[in-house]
Structure 1
Amino acid sequence: MDLSTHYLGLALRNPLVASASPLSNTVDGVRRLADGGVGAVVLYSLFEEQLRREAAENARLAEMGTEAFAESLSYFPAEAEAEAEADGSADEPSPRRYLSLLERAAAAVEIPVIGSINGVTPGGWTSYARAMQDAGAAAIELNIYYIPGDPHITGREVEQRHLDILSRVKDAVTVPVAVKLSPHFSSVGEMALRLDEAGADGLVLFNRFLQPDINPETLAIMPDVYLSSPAEARLPRTWISILRQHLRASLAATTGVEGPADVIKYLLAGADVVMTASALIRHGPAHAAVLLDGLSGWMARKGYPSVAAVRGMLALPADTDEAAYERAGYVRAMQAANSSRGPW
């Protein structure tokens, strides 16, 4: 059974990719994911805020040392590390630690290791993608997590921000670049096309927005990170099915993968790869083998010799009226619910 596939121009042994998560915080974690069977690993995300903080700290240290010998400037990063150890902030991975981890992880496994940057502004921090490339990243994933809280920001401004960030990173690197996209654009399809035309090598559908919750007893705002469920897969699966015939870029599915059936559904919709973090966190990296064995068993039962033979079988044909198709599906679902369950 041929499970091999291509993503971002990279040859993968199978279409299962471990998406960014705490499981890839260490070289041992990356190695366990690779041993579990995944085709590639996306390293946990490095945040724009961390890069800006380090740049500010290095500038502060440089200012303090302006009267010292020039050679001493090379010791500033080590001094900053020592301060971080002293104040306890060393638990938060720094950009230097990230590059070190990326370099060691890429050398430790035979599968592609993809670097991840999480940011919201098209600033100079995007050049850090080049450092990731030099450290051994096979590709870069841009996780653009942005909620325009200012109600005066227009939709076009939000869209342009994504395009500007992509352009900055593409200018900095030669490795492939994927954009992890939000589902909350007024026209997801047009945004996908614009990113494709701007040079995105892949799109990851979709980013999950993990907003804080409210505790009514303590009257406090509290962070709330929860793992995804299969019910959340329907939205990205729908858009992958719609976009499959319209893009040059690779399509990565993420969110809602728990069992082999979820992987299969995404492939049938047209995904080049299927990413998962929640299932691997719940069940451990060895769960990758369960997902892949289930995929192989299903392919054998159905008589499909390769992933390529499965991919996109249920994607919408290019000449389909997508809006009419989706509207018809919605109406059928609502009518079926009303007839089988009665009043809600």
Structure 2
Amino acid sequence: MNNRLEARYLGLALSSPLVPSASPLTATLSGARTLEDAGAAAIVMHSLFEEECQQDQQMLHQFLYDREQGHAESDGYLPEPDGFKTAEERYLETVRQMKEHLEIPVIASLNGVTRRGWSEHARQIAEAGADALELNIYYVAADGDEAAQDVERRYLDILHAVRSSVPDLPLAVKISSQFTSPVHFVKQLKQIGADAVVLFNRFLQPDIHLESRRLRSLLELSRSEELRERLRWIAIVRAQVAVDIAVTGGVHTAEDVIKAQMCGADITQMASALMQRGPGILPEIKTMLLHWLDEHEYDSLLQLKGSVSYRNAADPSGFERANYLETLDSWRP
């Protein structure tokens, strides 16, 4: 382990803060091996989706219902239940394979919005050997009768249920930036049992096809510019809540990693950069990080962590309204 780049997250000792986040690249053992060989400090697996589990349950229910109806002529054409693997079973098998063949920590991921089912999924994931679990509560509050407190309560209820089910498994909660008071909300997550927060979820934005007037889904990869919003809240949260912080969304370069560290992030999660340029960017970023540390006479990344957080910044008002006023005043036609 190169101790100049070492990091700690969710109680795990990592060789660096470079952690591939949930994506198709972390969905298979071969993909995870490639990332490990390239220098990933840990991986966040692709997500087990609530909808997949529900669909499997419906299929099995329908299958068993048809059997009970006694359709003897069709019995020979129906698959045996023992031969059918659910999405959860396939996911757990991948967790076990990764733990058997990888040396780096494996962080599993659950993605959903309802309060049902999370506890059992989390327990199974813990038993499969995952080192930690990231809860990705991907929820768009579109109901006008649902108050802001109700939205927060959904997150807190899910976290409480999971924490009760797996009291010893390190837990991270991935949230969006669209909360009225993000720091207060992170404090609540910490009180209920979150060991870390991941800032921030990137909601995919639908587009409209003009001719058909239908919505169409677009996958747009992140850009470094998106990191700025995250830097603000990392710095503010770091100064007020004793919780681990992962940044995701907008991490593409060594400079991005350094900025996140300065604001107080423990690790930097990457997906878009890896999908665009391949795992080979990991050793490149490591080399550039070490070069920057040498050039600026730092012994390690940990030495500069949090040096520009809200508490330590020379002008913390820049994270608030002052930045807005200064930016407007600086513009000239």
Q: Which of 100, 124, 129 in structure 1 is aligned with 2:122?
A: 129
Equivalent residue number for residue 87 of structure 1: none
What's the CA shift for 1:253?
Answer: 0.6
1:113 aligns with 2:106: yes
Residues 113 and 139 in structure 1, CA contact (< 8 A), matched pair in contact too: yes
Amino acid at match of 1:41: I
How many corresponding residue pairs? 322
Q: Deviations over 1:289-334 (max 9, x none)?
A: 1111111111111111122101111101189996785111111111
Alignment of 1:37-76 (within 5 A): 37-63=39-65, 76=81
- Structural mapping, 1:12-51, within 5 Å: 12-51=14-53
Match of 2:195 among 193, 196, 201: 201
* One-letter amino acid of the counterpart of residue 302, structure 1: H
Match of 1:264 in 2: 258
1:319–1:20 Cα change, 3 Å: closer
Q: What does residue 298 of structure 2 align with? A: 304
Scaled by the length of structure 2, what TM-score is found? 0.91
TM-score, scaled to structure 1: 0.88
User: Mean Cα displacement is larger for which, 227-236 or 170-179?
Assistant: 170-179
Report Cα offsets for 1:128-176 as digits up to 9, x if no partner.
0111111121100000110111111000000000000111111121210
Among 143, 153, 159, the residue aligned to 2:136: 143
**SS of corresponding position for 2:239:** coil
Q: Confirm or deny that 1:100 pairs with 2:93.
A: yes
Find the counterpart in structure 2 of residue 189 from structure 1.
Answer: 183
User: For structure 1, which runs of at least 5 residues remain unmatched after alignment?
Assistant: 69-74, 82-92
Q: Do the aligned residues in 2 keep the contact of 1:268 with 1:312 (CA within 8 Å)?
A: yes
What fraction of aligned residue pairs are identical, expressed as a percent? 38
Query: Which amino acid is the alignment partner of residue 19 of structure 1?
Result: S
Pairing 1:170-319 to 2, within 5 Å after superposition: 170-173=163-166, 174-317=168-311
Per-residue deviation, residues 63-89 of structure 1 (Å, max 9, x unmatched): 556699xxxxxx6241x34xxxxxxxx
Greater CA drift, 249-258 or 313-322: 313-322
**RMSD over equivalenced CA pairs, Å:** 2.2
Alignment of structure 1 residues 152-171 onto 2, 5 Å: 152-171=145-164
DSSP-derived class of the 1:128 partner: helix
Cα deviation code 1:265-290 (max 9, x no counterpart): 10111000001100111111111111
